[in-house]
């Protein structure tokens, strides 16, 4: 193993949460997630020679991971991810029902139903990236990101309410 490969693996190992999160956000089935994980790893390795270090490795990895996930399509299965509300255990009959947990699940489902592009914006927003940083990764203006984010928030609020009532 040469030095750059070792260095790359160390960096990827330290930042593996990013790849896991992207895989979990975009795909539902374990097998597909593993395929996407490998695809992101290989894509990052192929592009690593172009990584100059002028951006943080984590930001660069987000860009690689999101580009790969967005253009990654599976033929046989739907891209619907995570458990749908109907698959979430019916908590109504449980006495120790946790409203915060229910709200999180409802919000999680709402994020799952967003488009691939909106998911990418939400993911970066959850990581506390500024609109300017998100705009660099997505490739549209910061103003546009702010507009999109406001719309996404409204969409999520409504969808979460609906999902919460169904739990």
CA distance 98 to 147: 33
CA distance 5 to 12: 10
User: Which position among 29, 57, 58, 67 is part of the footprint of other proteins (CB under 8 A)?
Assistant: 67
Fill in the per-residue mask, 19 to 48: x = in contact with other proteins (CB under 8 A), - = not in contact: -xx-xxx---------x-xxx-xxx-xxx-
Q: Which of 85/148 has CB closer to other proteins? A: 148
Contact 75, 83 (CB under 8 A): no
User: Which position among 28, 131, 133, 137 is part of the footprint of other proteins (CB under 8 A)?
Assistant: 137
Contact 17, 34 (CB under 8 A): no
Q: SS3 sequence, 78-91?
A: CCCCCCCHHHCCCH
CA distance 122 to 19: 15
**Minimum CB–partner distance for residue 106 and other proteins (Å):** 7
Decide if residue 3 touches other proteins (CB under 8 A). no
* Secondary structure class of 15 (helix, strand, coil): coil
What is the contact surface with other proteins in residues (CB under 8 A)?
Answer: 1, 5, 9-10, 12-13, 16-17, 20-21, 23-25, 35, 37-39, 41-43, 45-47, 49-51, 60, 63-64, 66-68, 70-73, 100, 103-104, 106-108, 111, 115-118, 120, 122, 125-127, 136-141, 144, 147-148, 152-153, 156-157, 160-161, 164
């Amino acid at each position: 193993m040469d030095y750059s490969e070792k260095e790359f693996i160390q960096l990827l190992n330290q930042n593996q949460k990013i790849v896991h999160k992207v895989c979990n956000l975009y795909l539902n089935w374990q097998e597909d997630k593993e395929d996407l994980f490998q695809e992101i790893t290989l894509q990052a390795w192929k592009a690593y020679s172009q990584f100059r270090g002028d951006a943080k490795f984590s930001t660069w990895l987000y860009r690689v991971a999101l580009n790969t996930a967005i253009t990654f399509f599976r033929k046989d299965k739907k891209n619907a991810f995570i458990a749908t509300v109907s698959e979430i255990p019916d908590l109504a009959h449980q006495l120790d029902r946790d409203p915060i947990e229910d709200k999180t699940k409802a919000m999680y489902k709402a994020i799952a139903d967003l488009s691939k592009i909106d998911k990418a914006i939400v993911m970066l927003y959850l990581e506390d990236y500024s609109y300017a940083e998100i705009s660099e990764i997505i490739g549209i203006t910061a103003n546009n990101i702010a507009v999109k984010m406001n719309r996404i928030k409204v969409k999520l609020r409504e969808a979460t309410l609906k999902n919460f009532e169904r739990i």
